[in-house]
Amino acid sequence: MALALSLTGVDAHAGDTAIAESLFREGKVLMKQGDYSKACPKLAESQRLDPASGTMLAVALCHEKAGKLATAWAEYLEADALARQDGRAARSEAAQKRAAALEPKLAKLEIVVDGATGELAGLQIRLDGILLQQAVWSTAMPVDPGEHSLEATATDKKPWQTTVTFTAPAEQQQITIGPLEDLPPSPIEKEAPKPTPDEVPESSDATWVAGGILGGLGLAALGVGTFFGVRALDQIGEAQERCTVDHCTDPEAIDLNDSGALSADLSTGLLIGGGVATAAGIALLLTAALQEGESSEAVSADHGSFRIAPLVGPARAVSLASAHQGIGAHSLAKLHGGVVMWGGLW
């Protein structure tokens, strides 16, 4: 296992070395062509994959040719350190000479922080997006030619930003970060005015109307359903009087029984629909009352419910019962193999 892991590490390193060598060669070709914008990134990636003092020298030289003198100066110093570690005296000497030649040409930026500003909580200063530690403040820092962004932020303060541009070698600039402006106070959210007792939410009007309509239709359906239920009992009762035998052959009695069954079906449908509509209407009316806030007491009501259970089978039957306790009326008849049971409470 240890050997396998060791070989894997060797293979990975060998792969990185091969890629680094390829990038190094491509970078040198591009440098000769003067295409530094493509050459420098390839050389830098080669150095990352397989660090070496010779590659670092090439990276520094590329950036020097591209005009990034501060970057090249820092890289020459790094190449010197790597060369001395490797015992490459010639490379170390070459790196030192190039760094020394660039130093007088470096543009420098000094950032001065006002005394009170330096004490602000959470103060952070960034140059080109890079956070600068406090030790760097008030120090002339080498920077590349071109435009640089400077930003200062602190707790409860407005961000401060500026741009600094260097156009000439050895140019020096000093930027002072003064007092930062306070952030404006957070706006206090105003509470929506509460409606007075005389004010009625607009939505409650529509709720009242819908509840009244549904409730009225439901009550009407319950009334008509009750009518057909009573009629079903009368028709089946009359049919029973005309024909008392198990197998009835009287055509009028059979017609009355069929009409009674149809009336029972109508009663069932109307009572179901009426019950649902009435319940929905009551719910909407209660909602409207709550929206208006006219009562502070909890209102509860038992409006009752109907249970309609059609019995499916050889015999035709309809059962209607009320969930309320009270006085009721029940009827049962059997004729021509059919049973009708209907009950109600008022």
Which residue has 């969930």 as its token pair?
A: 323
Q: What is the pLDDT of residues 12-42, one digit of tens each?
A: 466 799 999 999 999 999 999 999 999 999 9
Mean pLDDT of 324-337: 36
Calculate the CA 176 to chain-centre distance. 43
**Strand 124-127 with 338-345, pairing:** unpaired
Measured between alpha carbons, how far is 344 from 321 in angstroms, rounded to an integer? 5
Compute φ and ψ for 130, nearest 5 degrees. -95, 125
E strand map for 122-259: 124-127, 130-132, 141-143, 146-153, 160-166, 172-177
**Letter string b/e over residues 53-63, b meaning 16 or more CB atoms within 10 A of that residue's CB:** bebbbbbbbbb
124 with 152: CB under 8 angstroms?
Answer: yes
Q: What is the pLDDT of residues 238-282, one digit of tens each?
A: 666 777 656 676 676 677 667 767 767 776 876 787 678 778 768
Q: Quick one: tokens of 198? A: 């005389």
Radius of gyration of the chain (CA): 48
| Identity at 244, one-letter amino acid code | T
- Is pLDDT at 91 greater than 80 in this prediction? yes
Q: Minimum mean pLDDT among 3-7, 219-223, 291-295: which range?
A: 3-7
Q: Quick one: tokens of 298? A: 């909890």
pTM of the model: 0.51
Kindly state the DSSP code that residue 324 receives in the 8-state scheme: S
